[in-house]
Amino acid sequence: MTIKETEIKDCFIIKPNVFEDERGYFMESFNASVFSKKTGIETTFLQDNQSFSSYGVIRGLHAQEGEFAQAKLVRVLQGEVLDVVIDARKDSTSYGKKVEIKLNADNKTQLFVPRGCLHGFAVLSQTATFFYKCDNYYDRASEIGVKFDDPFLDIDWQISENNQIISEKDMKLPLFKSL
C-alpha cells in the first residue's frame, strides 16, 4: 500500500497493491496497522456507506461537526468521480485548502478524509458506485455543509452547468465564509 500526503494536513491518497492474473485481481483495501505506521493516525471505522449515482450528480460539500465529526476512507467501486476535500478546521495549517482527485474503479485509489474537512464528489462516468468507511456514526443534527459552487472554493466539477444534478438540500447550503 502506497500512502501519499496531500496539501491538506492528515488527508492522504492511498494506492493499494493490486495483484492481477487471469482470474481477476486481489487487493487489500485497508490495513489499520500499515495505515497507522505510515500516517501516525489511529482509526477505527464504525460505519460503511455506499451510494449509486448517475452522470452529473454532485454530492456535497458535507461534514459532521462536534462529537459526531467523521473521518472517511472513500473509494469508487464502479465508474469514476471527481472527489473534493476542503479543510474547514479553523485551527489547521491547511485551512481553506482543497484536494481534488479522480477516483475510479480502474485505479482503485482511495482518499482518507480527516475529521473537520468538507467532502463531496461529482460523477464523471455514466454511473458510479461510491463506497466509504466512517470512524463515527451519522448524526443528522451534526451535519454541516457548504454550497458546491462557492466562488471562494473555485471548484471545477468537470460537468457543464446544464448537466449538473444537485439535491435541493445541497443547493441551499451556505458559503464557506459563513462556517
The catalytic residues are 62, 132
- Tell me the residue ranges of DSSP E strands in the chain: 2-5, 12-15, 18-21, 24-27, 47-54, 58-64, 72-78, 80-87, 98-104, 110-113, 117-123, 127-134, 143-145
Q: 31: Cβ–Cβ under 8 A, 6 or more apart, which residues? A: 1
